[in-house]
Amino acid sequence: MPDISSESLDWAKGDGLLPAIIQHSDTAQVLMLGYMNKAALAQTIETQKVTFYSRSKNRLWTKGETSGNWLDFISAEMDCDADTILVQARPHGPACHTGTQTCFNDHKASNIAFLDHLSALIAARHQTMPENSYTTSLFQDGTARIAQKVGEEGVELALARMKDDANETKNEAADLLFHMMVLLEDAGLHISEVVEVLQNRHK
């Protein structure tokens, strides 16, 4: 659900149009800037496709309606002055009409922000404990089993590296990272706290 209310936005400040910054929901990369009126925001939320008000065409315009490069709407929030909209979206194809991934540059963004999404998913599993979930089964097995899995995955990663198998090394590293994040959740910690330790060491 969106974190925004149309009634809370200051539409009068922009004569009915407000800038909408589109950010990749997985990487936090800024993709493009468009403008929305009340109708565009409402259609975005209703259709789950990011829609703007085109100032040149004087009509609503859904990104991807001609190119197929849709922006799947994830969420939205307003800034402190209620006159700018920040939209989280997941792109299908290039966000820029020139064919680049973003309208500001074409640098490949880091996907490290996905760890925040994964951490939130693990925390949700811990809270709701849905059936038929591997993550749920880990929490049900308890701290000792979670710690054991981290140890096992660490050994498997080391063995993969010794085999000089790049693909297996990536997969084992992913397994280790996932189980480590489950361990952190079990301990009441967040991966950002681990990153903070690294940052402090770097200083």
Mean pLDDT to the nearest integer, 31-47:
96
Q: What is the pLDDT of residues 155-179, one digit of tens each?
A: 999 999 999 999 999 999 999 999 9
The CATH number of 6-91 is 3.10.20.810
CA-based torsion, 61, 62, 65, 71: positive or negative:
positive
d(CA 149, CA 131): 20
The answer to whether 6-91 and 114-202 have equal CATH topology is: no
Mean pLDDT to the nearest integer, 40-44:
96
Mean pLDDT to the nearest integer, 71-84:
95
Higher pLDDT, 175 or 108: 175
Three-state secondary structure along 47-60?
Answer: HCECEEEECCCCEE
* Domain range summary for the chain, segments of one domain joined by +: 6-91, 114-202
User: Which pTM was predicted?
Assistant: 0.62
Buried (b) or exposed (e) across 54-77, using 16+ Cβ within 10 A? eeeeeebbbbbeeeebbbebbebe
Band (pLDDT 50/70/90 cuts) for residue 2 is: very low
The CATH number of 114-202 is 1.10.287.1080
Phi, psi at 81, each rounded to 5°: -95, 0
Given a contact cutoff of 8 angstroms between Cβ atoms, the answer to whether 17 and 37 are in contact is yes
